[in-house]
Amino acid sequence: MVKIADVARHARVSASTVSYVLSGKRPISAEVKQRVQNSITALGYHPHAGARSLASRRSNVIALVVPLRSGMHVPVLMQFAASVVTSARAHDHDVLLLTQDEGESGLRRVAGSSLADAIIVMDVELDDPRLPALRELHVPSVLIGFPADTSGLTCVDLDFVAAGAACVDHLHELGHRCVALLGSPHAVYRRGTGYATRVARGFRDAIARHDMTGSTHPCGITREAMAATVRDLLHEHPDLTGIIVHNEPIIGPLLEELRDCGRRVPDDMSVVAIGPDDLVSRFGVSGVALPADAVGSTAVELVMAKLDGEAVPAATMLHPILTVRETTAAAPLSRRRLKEKA
């Protein structure tokens, strides 16, 4: 194994000079710098990670805790993870993969042994059991998702309240006055998943602001459950012209069901979705995409800032971006009005 002393000898400098060339922590003459770099490539030198972390008290590794057994949409998890790895590498850090089932002790182990300098935790729930550990741990951490109490933490996620509102705003602009939110299964609301509730809040706020009629409907993820909910919905609200759906697995089936019920989308019924961009774009649905890449890279930026001792906000909310596709159009009623005017 080639070590720093070998490089130093080869470049006719001291070991510390090699170290400083690598870290850039002190000015080095252009000539020496060049010589050292040549020797490094000539010998194929790679600094020993362990020695480095021992001497510098920095492992240049960040731990990423992923929820492997959860009911989350898996491709999104992957996108998160990919984005975290890529961003971390851009900051010269590596990523250690931890599973949620190691729980609190996993966090303590990784932090305690200086395996990682920081921790990113995905899919945090409202009252997550790991929160106390994260607060008291001496390594910086960033959470993806919002717990009930963010004090003493750093959290990042899509602004789901704004996302819910953005969907309503979009429908309102198109002249819709009676809309519905097709949400997650009841269980998701009860178990503290935060974002489900937040979308509902954004929805209700916007409905009130625009003086519209709106109702929210938890909805199962099976085709049958969805069909039942939708039929009830159409029956109880005959003047419904817009549906906002925040429930990944039913986006596709919902479109089919509406067709089966004799409603053309978007002519008779507009549909807006909040969900993973692969899903949303695959079905050509207007809506707000879950910005997995942005969330991942933001999490890394926040972690790096904390490692540099900078102060960061407890909550970072990513602005929703609504993309208009083929499932939303002017409300039937307002189109009728337009014709009458003509």
Partner DNA sequence: ATGAAAGCGCTAACAC
Partner DNA sequence: GTGTTAGCGCTTTCAT
Q: Which of 9, 52, 223, 237 binds a second copy (CB under 8 A)?
A: 52
CB-CB contact of 328 with 258 (8 Å): no
Q: Which of 1, 24, 136, 224 binds DNA (CB under 7 A)?
A: 1
Q: Does 38 bind DNA (CB under 7 A)?
A: no
Q: Does 307 bind a second copy (CB under 8 A)?
A: no
- Number of Cβ within 10 Å of residue 101's Cβ equals 10
Q: Does 208 bind a second copy (CB under 8 A)?
A: no
Q: Does 22 bind DNA (CB under 7 A)?
A: yes
Our CB check for a second copy shows the closer of 51 and 314 to be 51
Contacts of 307 (CB under 8 A, 6+ apart): 117, 118, 140
User: Binding-site residue total for a second copy (CB under 8 A)?
Assistant: 39
Check residue 48 and give left, alpha or beta (phi > 0: left; psi -120 to 50: alpha).
Answer: beta
Contacts of 51 (CB under 8 A, 6+ apart): none
Task: Report the nearest approach of DNA to the CB of residue 92 (Å).
Answer: 11
Q: Beta partners for 121?
A: 65, 143
| Amino acid at site 71 | G
From 94, 153, 137, 178, select the one nearest 315 (Cα to Cα).
Answer: 153
- Number of Cβ within 10 Å of residue 138's Cβ equals 6
Span near a second copy by CB under 8 A; candidates 73-81, 142-150, 190-198, 333-341 = 73-81
Q: Does 34 bind DNA (CB under 7 A)?
A: no
The one of a second copy, DNA, none whose footprint includes residue 13, by CB under 5 to 8 A per kind, is: DNA
Our CB check for DNA shows the closer of 3 and 201 to be 3
Q: Which of 5, 90, 324, 338 binds DNA (CB under 7 A)?
A: 5
Task: Report the nearest approach of DNA to the CB of residue 139 (Å).
Answer: 15
Two tokens, residue 317: 């909310």
Contacting residues toward DNA, per CB under 7 A: 1, 3-5, 12-20, 22-23, 25-29, 31-33, 45-48, 51-52, 54-57
